[in-house]
Amino acid sequence: MNHANTNNSPDTSPLGKSSAYPDVYDPALLFPIPRQPKRDELGVTGTLPFFGVDIWNAYEVSWLNQRGKPQIAIATFMIQADSPNIIESKSFKLYLNSFNQARLDDQQALVALLQKDLSAAAGAGVQVTLTEPGAFSALQMGELSGMLLDRLDIEVVDRHPDPALLSANHDEATVEETLLSHLLKSNCPVTGQPDWGSVQIHYVGAPINQEALLKYLIGFREHNEFHEQCVERIFVDVLRQCRPQKLAVYARYTRRGGLDINPWRSNFSAARAPSNLRNARQ
């Protein structure tokens, strides 16, 4: 099912280049990028140390009914972390815009096309759900829970994530904690455009040094990686340096081009997929 070109990389993507927005449905616009090269960089080979999902929300989805009348919806896409590929976000936007003049029988026809095309690009099944305008009023907002790291008065000198900063006190009793920061910022690996996010870290284990963790997270400020890769880097670094028994990392990024991307990674089976509540910055 995986039809991705293994030579795909950020510098060969349409990101950061002038693009003619298509008015004809075209699944070939989707640009998959293999996950494994970045995981190799982290030393993650063989069995993944986590499971999880990338939750995409698309707020600019439109198509035509058979009489030519525009239809709109909010779409949610669930892409499993063990899929071979991520989908580059600008190509995702161009693909969604290719439906703008496409005549379809109904929503089910749109969902079927989306599932087929996105699953082929991701190399694994992608779950698609649509929210109609009549249900928009039922959508809710909510903030990530947890002890706010941003309350700490720290001095920051690192502008790239340094896992050596991370530590936990293994002389203290095991705790279960959820820590939260709204200060996550990374950059697009091609254009350098900023990606803003909030990150929630839930763990069971020795207490993590919170000041060091906040410094580490702020260290992403000039780091160039896609959203999914940043979350996996955070997960792997905390797991290796702090050795918690259980760990889950969830980031909610602000939208760009009508899309937001919200990766979640966990290593304990009792963990449930997180809520997809949109936060104030989204």
pLDDT tens for each residue of 92-128 = 999 999 999 999 999 999 999 999 999 999 999 999 9
Q: How far apart are CA 33 and CA 137, in angstroms?
A: 36
By the 10 Å C-beta count (0-12 exposed, 13-18 middle, 19+ buried), 30 is classed as: buried
Q: Return the SS3 of 32.
A: strand
CB distance 61 to 98 below 8 Å? no
pTM of the complete model: 0.91
Active site residues: 188, 195
pLDDT tens for each residue of 47-85 = 999 999 999 999 999 999 999 999 999 999 999 999 999
Dig out the tokens for 44 from the structure: 């993650």
